[in-house]
């Protein structure tokens, strides 16, 4: 029996079925791809934070310095021109200026100056007078607190600039377990806002091992 000759094309039904299958595959694959990208970004950011944490600890243990970088520019010997991003700026300026062995900022693409400030007199990093921030995988500045600065001068929070230009108020994270500062054993906190770009939420990437 002869089969009906085909014209070489696809019927509308066939095309619709194929499109339906493609749509179903995309629905399944998109969140998976998104998740794996997010987890890679979290890993990169976690590694950056640990690299800086090691450098800070190294400075604390060195006979020459014996302390963590301050989280105020004035305490680091620089002239602040605004009150934005001070913690990470003081960290970058301190570790970047003092001793190249302690400088953990090996990726220059991560050095940003989102608030455009600079010291009128001094070099703050390399040959620049800019107060740089070191940014995470989502291009927001890492937040840095030397905890005792917040016990001593009574100032509770600092304003930070996000990559989209908006500012947020940040303060050291309190441990739900102890009621004191999280990461108190280190004496400092380094925090990334994480993929949601908000401070103090569950997806934050932090320098200490448990909240």
Q: Is 115 in the site for Ca ion (CB under 5 A)?
A: yes
Within 10 A of 52 (CB to CB), how many other CB atoms are there?
23
Nearer to Ca ion, 118 or 148 (CB): 118
Q: Is 201 in the site for Ca ion (CB under 5 A)?
A: yes
Q: Is 196 in the site for Ca ion (CB under 5 A)?
A: yes
Query: To the nearest 10°, the Cα dihedral for 69, 70, 73, 74?
Result: -120
- Kindly state the smallest distance separating residue 200's Cβ from Ca ion, in Å: 7
Between vectors from CA 114 to CA 156 and to CA 108, what angle results, nearest 5°? 110
Nearer to Ca ion, 117 or 186 (CB): 117
Q: Is 113 in the site for Ca ion (CB under 5 A)?
A: yes
Could you say which of 97, 181, 194, 207 contacts Ca ion (CB under 5 A)? Answer: 194
Residues 58-97 as x/- pattern, contact with Ca ion by CB under 5 A: ---------------------------x------------
Going by C-alpha positions, the residue among 173, 165, 166, 164 that lies closest to residue 87 is 173
- Kindly state the smallest distance separating residue 201's Cβ from Ca ion, in Å: 4
Beta bridge pairs of residue 188: 146
Positions 126 through 145 that interact with Ca ion (CB under 5 A): 131
Q: Is 193 in the site for Ca ion (CB under 5 A)?
A: yes
- For 160, the 3-state DSSP assignment is strand
Which burial class, exposed, middle or buried, applies to 187 when counting CB atoms under 10 A from its CB (0-12, 13-18, 19+)? middle
What contacts 197, CB < 8 A, 6 or more positions away? 138, 140, 162, 163
- Kindly state the smallest distance separating residue 132's Cβ from Ca ion, in Å: 6
- Kindly state the smallest distance separating residue 32's Cβ from Ca ion, in Å: 22
Between vectors from CA 139 to CA 79 and to CA 133, what angle results, nearest 5°? 15
Give me 166's structure tokens: 């908006």
Could you say which of 56, 142, 204, 206 contacts Ca ion (CB under 5 A)? Answer: 204
Site residues for Ca ion per CB under 5 A = 85, 113, 115, 117, 131, 193-194, 196, 198, 201, 203-204
């Amino acid at each position: 029996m002869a089969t009906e000759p085909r014209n070489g094309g696809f019927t509308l039904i066939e095309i619709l079925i194929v499109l339906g299958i493609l749509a179903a595959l995309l629905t399944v694959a998109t969140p998976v791809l998104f998740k794996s990208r997010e987890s890679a970004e979290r890993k990169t950011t976690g590694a950056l934070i640990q690299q800086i944490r090691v450098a800070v600890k190294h400075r604390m243990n060195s006979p020459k310095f014996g302390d963590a970088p301050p989280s105020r520019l004035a305490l680091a010997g620089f002239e602040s021109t605004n009150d934005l991003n001070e913690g990470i700026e003081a960290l970058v300026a301190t570790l970047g200026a003092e001793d190249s062995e302690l400088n953990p900022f090996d990726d220059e693409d991560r050095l940003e100056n989102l608030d455009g400030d600079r010291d009128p007199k001094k070099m703050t990093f390399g040959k620049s007078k800019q107060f740089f921030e070191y940014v995470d995988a989502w291009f927001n500045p890492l937040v840095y607190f030397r905890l005792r600065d917040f016990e001593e001068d009574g100032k509770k929070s600092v304003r930070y600039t996000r990559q989209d230009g908006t500012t947020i108020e940040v303060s050291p994270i309190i441990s739900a377990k102890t009621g004191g500062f999280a990461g108190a054993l280190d004496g400092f906190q380094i925090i990334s806002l994480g993929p949601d770009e908000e401070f103090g939420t569950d997806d934050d990437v932090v320098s200490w091992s448990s909240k």
